[in-house]
């Protein structure tokens, strides 16, 4: 759903989800009348002891072939799951709060849902998840990997060889590691060019480029970005955080332009590169101005915080999640489900997205009041969709290189990590087209 001039515009996915929810509700009502619909409710409000592992519990139910429901805007976005020994055992081991709920209580809850800004979304299939992350990635590098491991959600790690050679349609959802798709290594050469880990990364990527007959790393990364674009266009879902949000857009817009600075000798990039960018190929952004100086640790003016540029760096505050209409816009509502509406901000290579750089039709899911930037955006592209979340780690505001990994066992109720996991389950609600 997109709001234009105050008017709600229904998305195809939104209409499909509404019809599916109605059909599923009728099926459950039929089972209840036969005494077969024993369920458990997993509340996701402040009463929940472990919000993050509740997503893993729901994933397990789907993986076991059961159907579930996501009661969006009901008690923080609660889950209705089948009652079984396996589910109860998993919930007990993980410290997930749940309660048995009988047919009468379900019917009462459905009446409340039907009369309020809530909806019951059927979840039908465990999503097939992949994470685009480099081999030997250190644990502090990716919040999504931490979230999936802690929640107990299965995933496959893929990298450039896989992106170029595999049939990506085997996955429903791909998370983009905070890779620099412009091929400039996030300009880490400015401060870390002599570090063994940086040298290994540089040599690895150059070796991969040569293996696939690309002249350099920027050409390799542009090709990978193009494969990701095709994946979404064909019906896939991507989720990106940190620098991947900004740099994949720059790489897509620069398919015919060399925007990677000659970092080996500090030569500035082509002064006409801005004018040569084709923003029709991107997901979220348009009209960005590139950082022409290879000695400045920024990629463009998409990021409002410019964390690595001392003269431009903006301080952290909080960001606020939007309250969407659950019945008219179930997709956006799923993506913002939380027990907190105001969330502490956190830095990343790309921390935020300047409003003036957003394409028309992009749904803003969260912003910082009184600033020219937003934090969390979503949109459709072709048959699929994408979500970008600024920042690196919701529980590590500064995120210094080499910092110890976040211990989610100490933060089981993290509202920022919940936003990540909303995106993991979101594809489970998508109706798959019949194959012919």
Do residues 141 and 7 both lie within one domain?
no
The answer as to whether 434 is a domain residue is no
Question: How far is 420 from 241, CA to CA, in rounded Å?
Answer: 9
Q: Helix 103-114 crosses helix 12-33 at what angle (to 10 degrees)?
A: 150
Question: How far is 166 from 185, CA to CA, in rounded Å?
Answer: 24
State what percent of residues in the chain have pLDDT above 70: 84
Sign of the C-alpha dihedral computed for residues 340, 344, 345 and 346 taken in this order: negative
pLDDT score for 417: 98
Q: What is the mean pLDDT of the segment spanning 104-117?
A: 97
pLDDT score for 6: 39
Residue range(s) defining the domain that contains residue 329: 129-429
Buried/exposed code over 146-185 (b: 16+ C-beta within 10 A; e: otherwise): bbbebbbbebeebbbeebbeeebeebbbbbbbbbbbbbbb
Say which residues have a Cβ less than 8 Å from residue 267's Cβ, sequence separation at least 6. Answer: 261, 294
Determine contact, residues 296/313, Cβ cutoff 8 Å: no
Do residues 98 and 152 both lie within one domain?
no
Is the pLDDT confidence value at 14 over 80?
A: no
Is the pLDDT confidence value at 168 over 80?
A: yes
Do residues 171 and 106 both lie within one domain?
no
Question: How far is 284 from 280, CA to CA, in rounded Å?
Answer: 10
Domains identified in the chain, total number: 2
Do residues 240 and 140 both lie within one domain?
yes
Do residues 186 and 208 both lie within one domain?
yes
Which residue would you say has higher pLDDT here, 47 or 273?
47
Do residues 49 and 118 both lie within one domain?
yes
Do residues 145 and 214 both lie within one domain?
yes
pLDDT score for 73: 98
Residue that finishes a domain, picked among 81, 96, 123: 123
Closest CA to 389 of 288, 291, 321, 287: 321
pLDDT score for 144: 95
Q: What is the value of pTM for the model shown? A: 0.87
Least confident of 99-103, 287-291, 391-395: 287-291
Query: What CATH number corresponds to the domain at position 222?
Result: 3.40.50.880
Phi-psi label, residue 52: left if phi above 0, alpha if psi -120 to 50, beta otherwise? alpha
Is the pLDDT confidence value at 116 over 90?
A: yes
Do residues 193 and 176 both lie within one domain?
yes
Q: What is the mean pLDDT of the segment spanning 371-378?
A: 98
The CB density around residue 136, as the number of other CB atoms within 10 Å, is 10
The answer as to whether 117 is a domain residue is yes
Q: 272-302, pLDDT tens digit by residue?
A: 777 889 999 999 999 999 887 777 778 899 9
The kind and range of the H/E element at 23 are: helix 12-33
């Amino acid at each position: 759903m997109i709001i234009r001039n105050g008017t709600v515009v229904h998305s195809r996915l939104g209409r499909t989800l509404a019809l599916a929810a109605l059909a599923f509700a009728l099926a459950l009502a039929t089972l209840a009348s036969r005494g077969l619909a024993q369920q458990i409710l997993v509340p996701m409000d402040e009463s929940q002891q472990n919000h993050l592992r509740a997503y893993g519990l729901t994933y397990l139910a789907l993986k076991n072939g059961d159907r579930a429901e996501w009661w969006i805007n009901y008690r923080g976005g609660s889950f209705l799951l089948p009652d079984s020994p396996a589910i109860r055992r998993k919930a007990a081991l993980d410290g997930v709060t749940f309660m048995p709920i009988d047919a009468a209580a379900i019917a009462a809850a459905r009446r409340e849902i039907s009369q309020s800004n809530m909806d019951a979304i059927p979840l039908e299939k465990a999503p097939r998840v992949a994470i685009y992350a480099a081999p030997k990635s250190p644990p502090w590098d990716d919040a999504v990997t931490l979230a999936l491991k802690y929640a107990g959600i299965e995933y496959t790690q893929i990298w450039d060889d896989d992106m170029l050679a595999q049939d990506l349609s085997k996955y429903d959802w791909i998370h983009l590691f905070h890779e620099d798709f412009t091929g400039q290594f996030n300009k880490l050469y400015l401060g870390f060019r002599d570090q063994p880990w940086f040298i290994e990364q540089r040599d690895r990527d150059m070796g991969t480029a040569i293996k696939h007959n690309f002249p350099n790393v920027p050409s390799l990364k542009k090709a990978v970005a193009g494969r990701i674009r095709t994946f979404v266009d064909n019906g896939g879902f991507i989720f990106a955080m940190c620098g991947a949000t900004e740099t994949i857009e720059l790489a897509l817009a620069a398919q015919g332009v060399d925007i990677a600075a000659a970092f080996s000798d500090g030569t500035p990039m082509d002064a006409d590169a801005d004018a040569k960018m084709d923003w029709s190929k991107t997901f979220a952004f348009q009209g960005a101005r590139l950082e022409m100086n290879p000695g400045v640790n920024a990629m463009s003016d998409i990021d409002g915080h410019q964390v690595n540029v001392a003269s431009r760096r903006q301080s952290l505050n909080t960001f606020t999640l939007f309250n969407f209409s659950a019945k008219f816009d179930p997709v956006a509502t799923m993506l913002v489900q939380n027990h907190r509406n105001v969330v502490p901000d956190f830095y990343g290579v790309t921390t935020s997205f300047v409003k003036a750089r957003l394409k028309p039709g992009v749904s803003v899911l969260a912003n910082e009041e009184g600033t020219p930037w937003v934090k969390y955006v979503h949109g459709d592209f072709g048959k699929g969709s994408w979500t970008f979340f600024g920042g690196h780690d919701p529980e590590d505001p500064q995120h210094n290189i080499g910092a110890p990994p976040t211990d989610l066992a100490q933060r089981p109720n993290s509202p920022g990590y919940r936003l990540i996991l909303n995106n993991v389950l979101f594809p489970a609600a998508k109706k798959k087209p019949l194959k012919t």
